[in-house]
Structure 1
Amino acid sequence: MTRLEAYHGKRDFEVTPEPRDGGRADGLAPVYSMQNHDATRLHWDLRLEYDGVLLSWAITRGPSLDPADKRLAVQTEDHPMSYLDFEGTIPKGNYGAGTVMLWDVGHWQPLSDVAKGLKKGHLSFVLHGLRMTGRWDMIRLKPEGKRVNWLLVKHEDAAAHGPDPVKRYTTSVATRRTMDAIAEDAPTAPPPPRKTALPRWRQPQLATLTDRLGDPEQRWHELKFDGYRALVAVGKGGARIYTRNGHDWTDRFLPLVPAFEELPCDAALIDGEITVGAGLYGFGRLQKAIKLGGPFHFHAFDLLKRDGEDLTGLPLTNRRAALEELFTDTPPLGLLQLSPVLRGDASDAFDRVCHTGGEGLISKRMDAPYRGGRSTAWEKIKCIKRDEFVVIGWQDSDKKGRPFASLALGIEEAGEMVYAGKIGTGWDADTMDEIAARLKPLARKTAPAPVPAAEARGMNWVTPRLVVEVRYAEVTEDGRLRHPSFEGLREDKPADQVRRDPPTAALETAAETKPKARGSAPAKPQRSTKAAAVADAGDKRATTAANGRVTIAGISLSSPDRRVFPQARHTKRDVAEYYARAADRMLRFAGDRPLSLVRLPEGLEGERFFQKHAGKGFPDAIRTVEIAEKSGAAEYMTVRDAAGLVGAVQMGTIEFHIWGARNDRVERPDRMVFDLDPDEGLGFDAVKAGAFEIRDRLDALGLPSWPLLTGGKGVHVVVPLRRTAGWETVSLFSRMLAELCARDAPERYTATMSKAKRKGRIFIDWLRNQRGATAIAPWSLRARAGAPVAVPVTWTELEATDRANLFTLDDALNRDPEATPPPGPVSLSAAVLKRLESRL
């Protein structure tokens, strides 16, 4: 039975205007809609995208914003994705006959696993619609015959207790028609009439970079958003959205337009920032949202004009009051939001913003008028170093299917283009193809800036037109970016406007400071040392305090300059920064698992030891999971975020070794590992041959696998498992396979750990699959000379690889983490075990 069989069986598509099939289900966030349906009984139909269809419920009295109200929601058949924006009249005699109004549309954000929620009977989610916003809960009641009844309840948040939406909204969000007009098939109603012409775009006010928070007596602070600056004009003819340079990008942000057209004004010019919405974050996600049509949020922070009146000459406080009045009736937590204002000492707020990965703060003089261009009336204090650069060249990749290996960056300084280094990470395959296509017509024979010969080798030069946004740790003394990572293309900023920000300074104006008396002491800092440490950051995860410690991913790191890898000249800070940057890719494998850490508190040349239980002084970010043992329950270490990884580094950790099971089901492994450990005299070709042999044997049993370069001498062959078998089964299977290999080729393999029996052979270590055993985590550093990293590769790449320590701390993160997607998990069934047993 297909998901839509019930839907199709109830309808005659020769008669009803309802869609039969179709609609997309490939957006950045799942879509949502609610339709007002005047059938036998007036109700509201809730539609939530899931698994290629629209889950559907009939809300008998419509949604309520009062958390005390529990509205009955009768689950109905799944609908096709194309039903999302359906509006019209279903003829009499048909199932669901009556008028259907598109009452709300947008995206929804599940707060937990949807499949588990449907099975358990409790869904928690956030709606990001034009009308319905905030968190909601759906709770299933006990069955009553064939009907499946749920309750829809509003969660207590900023969107709760608003005006009754059923009474407030009586027209379509798509056509602005009433129910009667839809029934009569009337044309789309025009937007609210406005007489004043659209205000013209004007140059926006820009902030000057500084390293201090402003005087709380004269300034307030707002969040620095991670998006596109936009000026929005509302007036006769609707709404238009302009970039900071005056380009009309209304078509790229169309989902926001209906919300702007509902604002209670005849005309307005609003300054703000557009970010990705529906619970998603980051500039890269925003670029994808632009391609896919959403989701978006607009954060308004200034009002330049309203109803023909120019407000730019008024103090910021007056303009803000007018902006808040304009936004009085917008749905809280909706598509249009006011930028939060932080009054008073913002030190603690700044620390929290940086700790949670925010951009920083904007400090604004409360008494200042609005003036286009850059000035000290607005100042920006960054948690991270993140700037625009122009691409001046690209290097060929030796990896099949990759259009380039790295990009050369440039930036204008003192009227001249200077080389800023190379970047080789941060993009996916689609973005690489897009960049390559844009660079192709810009080819030129000479370098646009002086580049050292060693770094220019193999470079293809281009005219500096393409602008990219880059996150980086710091700028070295020779002007190179340290640990750069691509964030996205900047189509809103032309290349000739990309210049290096001047060094930060304690910028003061006469309006903010009194003249110092001759011979007086220097002025005291306007913020705490802790806040200063955050503002002086070289990376959003790394900040330096006056006492020499650094803060990375919210963890205070002592002795950051101590050499951990003497030969490779890498410090404790380098190790912490690596794990902070590698967190997303590494936690896919190592997050929420019991861990063992390899600690070297004095670096590579000091003592090393394994540790699986947290000791005294371990950071709170290193969490624990309770696991039953013969002697009683024991607390094992586990991590779930970048702070946990860096917290382990603070305790001297270099390597992370992981269990083969997750915390939530420690008795059900989700991975099986064959560790190929060669005798000292064997070369890497023998190890590769062994890995391919194990792969082939696994494939013959229906068990796909992937290889991991361990960063040491060997290779791990990893089989992702469905969590259906226990430790005994997985251990037994891996032992039988290892013994089968040793039996068939005793001159090449051994399944016994004994050093004596390993001479000239490869030990196929199946013991990694016993309960409590661990294996090196993918993307973990190894405590070996050169700072190698354990990196997943493809079988094709393994064939061309000549060593297991191919990747190091310096270059591992240049590798696209999506380049080696692991195969889907498989079940280690009794039938598979029997097939293996038959071969012994």
Structure 2
Amino acid sequence: MPLEKYNQKRDFSKTKEPKGIRKTSKGALQFVVQKHAASHLHYDFRLEIDGVLVSWAVPKGPSADHDVKRLAMHVEDHPMDYIDFEGIIPEGEYGGGTVMVWDIGTYHAEGNDDASKDNALMKKQLKEGSIKIVLQGSKLKGSYHLFSIKDDDKQWLLMKGNDEFADGKAFNELSIITKRDFNAIAKGNDVWESNRKSATKKIVPTKKTERREEEKMAHAAKSDGAFSGDDLADAKKITHFPENWRPQLATLTDAAFDHGDWIFENKFDGYRALIQIQNKKATIISRNGIKFNGKYPEIAKSFDGTPQDMILDGEIVVEDSKGKSHFQWLQKYEDHPGKGKLKFYAFDILYFQGFDLRNLGLLLRKKILKAVLPKAANIIYSEHQIGTGIKAFEAVAAKGGEGIIAKKSDSRYQTDKRSRDWLKIKTDKQQEMVIGGFTEPQGGRKGIGALLCGYYDGKDLIYSGKVGSGFTEHILEDLRKKLDRIERKASPFTTIPKEKNVHWVSPKLIAQLKFSEFTETGSMRHPVFLGLRSDKDPKDITIEKPGVVAEKSSDTLTAVKEPQKNRTKSRIEFSNLDKVFWPKEKITKGDVIDYYKSVAAYILPYLKERPQSLRRTPDGIKSEGFFQKDVAGKVPKWIKTRKIKSDSAGESIEWLICNDEETLLFLANWGCIEMNPWSSRVGSLNNPDYIIFDLDPKGVPMKNIIATATKLKEVLDLLKVPAYIKTSGGNGLHVFIPVLPKYTYEHTRQFSHLVSQMVHRDLPEITSLERMPAKRKGKVYLDFLQNGRGKTMASVYSLRPREGAGVSTPLEWDEVNDSLDLKAYNINTIPKRLQEKGDLWANFFDDAIDLKSILNKI
């Protein structure tokens, strides 16, 4: 593509991009990969050929995994002066957006050692539509292949050659020449200039290197250096005031602990609230979005007039003269405003002057909070201790306080999420309960006798006992009035309590209780009424059990999800359990670990003694992740590994073997959403024990996939071959045949090819054996090539890192019909399905066939 097209698309009076001038290629040829945030984020892969940069747009960027192919769209040539362009293309101009030099270096044609021949060889390869090169960059190294897949020369594929650099590792995403990320480049106001006197160029920063918004921030803070605009470098600028954010919640843990990476604050006995200040007006918002201005006008008034817009997180409490908070006083504060001192304790800041602060570390957020918090007698900054949780807990317990909150010091703020980065440790057991009824008072007591309380388990209200202490005479009379208004005839509890003289009520009121312990039957022992809560939804009230168990030592904190008495010692230190892996479904990393724990007994028979090709997706489905095969020196010594010689390089790499639940959970904690085992086991690695038929569904209606699977079953039935079917976990289906491990991968591939040909013969209109996607559009691809040494397929019961959190699930053949809904097989449904149906593949390996005897029949 000549440079005329490049020049025609650009107005060089508006863009700093260089004009298109062809140069003479001499010496080692150069390449560059530029990451480009235009209308769509992509990577521009550019090779110097005959004095220009021949260019491809690669949407997902280069990979270091030999098995991964990337679409590469051939675009117009660029001039050689573009090779280190980094900066901003103005909006409205062609390609408007931010450009980063992601990698740069030299290259040569594969198999050629004479640099003087490279240019001629590359012109020939480009014309033929098949390019094989060796890159010598900072990130991209070794063999890479580009080949055209359509006659119009537009669509190509980019893939990593199979060499020692094909390690599947993720790349550093910073600029290779300035070490900046996209945000820094976009904020830097840089102008690109070409130094015409030398072969290199440079990035020249302008004099205004600080953002105007940050200068306003530092001035607005008026904090005498407590924080500056530099503290906000990683904060996100947003254009709207976020009115609908809700607080991050803490997970209950069983004991206090010491740890240098955690801070410890007092746990307040009050109402959680966000203070939203916009245009000098404060609004108090409860954890459920209820406005509290009318209940606590003094707090709102203390914040009114604050010149900066902000959102603060904290707790409203009422304290006595000794500084002890009283929840009942707070509950009745509107009726008795003189009883105690109303205060707001601020412990976090989410937003300030147009900046979203949630992605900043906790200690940095607290630094900003302390600097900008308005000064008033009833507004208090919540102090903290670093590392010494046990000492902080003992001090609170000695004063009769409610407990402490432990927070990971570098944690981000997770809006409207219960997180294990925040842990609550209580001095006594407390629990909210829903009131479902009450008994008549006896003797001289007035109002009520006792409250009948419960909690929700799904849609069921479970009875948890009655509460008859903690009431004053005034509280008893007030409760009776409230309860009489919501009286009903029928019990709201799933199991009706055997109590006399009961009045049932609609489950609308929530009681805050303290008690000594739960009995074995789930009832509270020695419960005491503390007050009513109006800041929560009754449907949200469930049994609150420790979600994390703290183990104390000098330098580690092990957090697990089960209470101490119900678990065994784990060698895994779980981390970032609340990291969201599926944003739409709000499924977290902890949910993935829970899933694999629940299905471990079912999935392990299909993983044991098989090398694992690890697909690691530590950021969840928002990124494609990366494959890792060699785990040498990267996993704990207790995990089984096996050195296996690579056929191509002749070198051994160390593969992970998943033989037990602990290794399975280690993989899940390592970000392996998907489990990808070999088709063969240690001891017979060259002899697979199953054959795979992958029905590739891209762009194909579901009815055609069903028809193809049904025809495949007919063919295999005629051959008297057992066929096991499962969902892919995405949009397709997989059919497996168990075989005795005495034949090679070539034998199993040939058999798969032969049967696939038989299916295609009967269904030529809807199936294809063509490898190139362009030649099989709208047809089910019968991918027999999945049967190869080292090739992997998602295991039975494996999660897939795709939208919907699908699971590769065994099916009964009568389920394979027009009503089949692949989305129904997901992380939420499979554990229950297993309880109902068990493992549909339980006899899989017992049904292994002798391949030779089957071939003799054909």
- TM-score normalised to structure 1 length: 0.37
Larger Cα-atom Rg: 2
- TM-score normalised to structure 2 length: 0.36
